[in-house]
Structure 1
Amino acid sequence: MTATDKIDVENIPAVLNRLGRRTVVFVGLMGAGKTVIGRKVAATLGLPFVDSDHEIEEVSRMTIPDLFAAYGEEEFRALERRVIARLLKEGPQVLSTGGGAFMSAATRQAVARHGVSVWLKADLETLMQRVVKRQNRPLLQADDPRAVMQRLMEVRYPVYEKANVTVRSRDEPKEVIAAEVMTSLARFLADGREVRKPAR
């Protein structure tokens, strides 16, 4: 870790103050590092960390793959929207969301009202290296998971670009990526763009 990668601890009180009651919301594809980096950022800020997929499994008493198998993606997404809407009202905190969550316009609006969104952007090679060993990815249960991932990138990346902050996720220690997230958050909040539009 270089000097520029270290978290400026003097920025932490300012970030917390400007964040207020809002939630730092991590978005991105499976394998982008939302949980790992989210936990690190939460620890740095002294805030609770919540994983929306874990919360969904808690309330449904089913695993994500089982939910997909039993009810299909549409019903899963409806439950996901409800759970995330509830969680966003419980800030300040750091929230990791599932890869498809930010694709919902309703969820994006809720995040805009109650949070600051951070997109962890990763390339195809990085994502595939990270997900290939995991068997709990319903959308990748296909003959050609790499092609599925490529298609997900093509569809979702233009939407992820709507996030407030973008940080490149890559093969670096989590401390480095978390430091970049903190720097980007501090810059975004300090720019005055943190002022929310009135809820309609």
Structure 2
Amino acid sequence: MKSSSNVFLVGPMGAGKSTIGRLLAADLRLDFKDTDKEIEDRSGVDIPWIFDMEGEDGFRDREAAMLDELTQLDKTLLATGGGIVLKPENRKALASRGRVVYLMTSIDEQVRRTARDKKRPLLNTEEPRQVLTDLMNLRHPLYEEIADYVIDTDGRSPKSVAQELTRMLSS
């Protein structure tokens, strides 16, 4: 049964899931959690280290276990990692345990927002734009598949997006 008291944010890196999530959680009086931060806090290492030592598959396994646990909480707003939708069991957990919001953003905006961020293992490449494009082509249909709401964050402040989402989710 879908819990209307939980909200899960999905979308590509740079969409604003963590920033908007904190604001939205405060507005909706929900506990804020971030899958990536929870993984780092509990493992004692950062995500790039996990990617280096365990590869993407190892990270995705940790992420799936964390998601399963966090989506079973109540009154929680959860910001997820961009690749969380890759595993079918993750999509099922998200879609069945709360309201899913897809924070959509363009490749141009992702490039701009992630340009100086060195903690994104998938972007440690000479062609981050191509990587972001390839990821979007793969993941966009998966985000849409489970989304109850879709909102474009391009050119908008996190506060304005959070305010719009507060209105949408409160009605």
Q: What residue number does 2:152 align with?
A: 168
- For 1:166-191, what per-residue CA distance to the aligned partner results, in whole angstroms no more than 9, with x for missing partners? 0101122222111222233245xxxx
Q: Which amino acid aligns with 1:121?
A: M
Root-mean-square deviation (Å): 1.4
Q: What residue number does 1:114 align with?
A: 97
Q: Which runs of 4+ in 1 moved over 4 A?
A: none
Q: What residue number does 2:124 align with?
A: 141
Q: What residue number does 2:76 align with?
A: 93
TM-score by length of 1: 0.80
1:117 and 1:181 map into 2 onto residues whose CA distance is 11
- For 1:133-169, what per-residue CA distance to the aligned partner results, in whole angstroms no more than 9, with x for missing partners? 1000000111111110111111111111121110101
CA contact (8 A) 1:23 1:94 kept: yes
2:130 and 2:109 map into 1 onto residues whose CA distance is 14
TM-score by length of 2: 0.94
2:109 and 2:94 map into 1 onto residues whose CA distance is 27
Structure of higher CA gyration radius: 1
Q: Which amino acid aligns with 1:105?
A: P
Matches within 5 A, 1:1-200: 22-162=5-145, 163-186=147-170
Taking a change above 3 Å as real, the CA distance of residues 161 and 20 of structure 1, as seen in their structure-2 partners, is: closer
Q: Number of residue pairs matched?
A: 169
- What fraction of aligned residue pairs are identical, expressed as a percent? 36
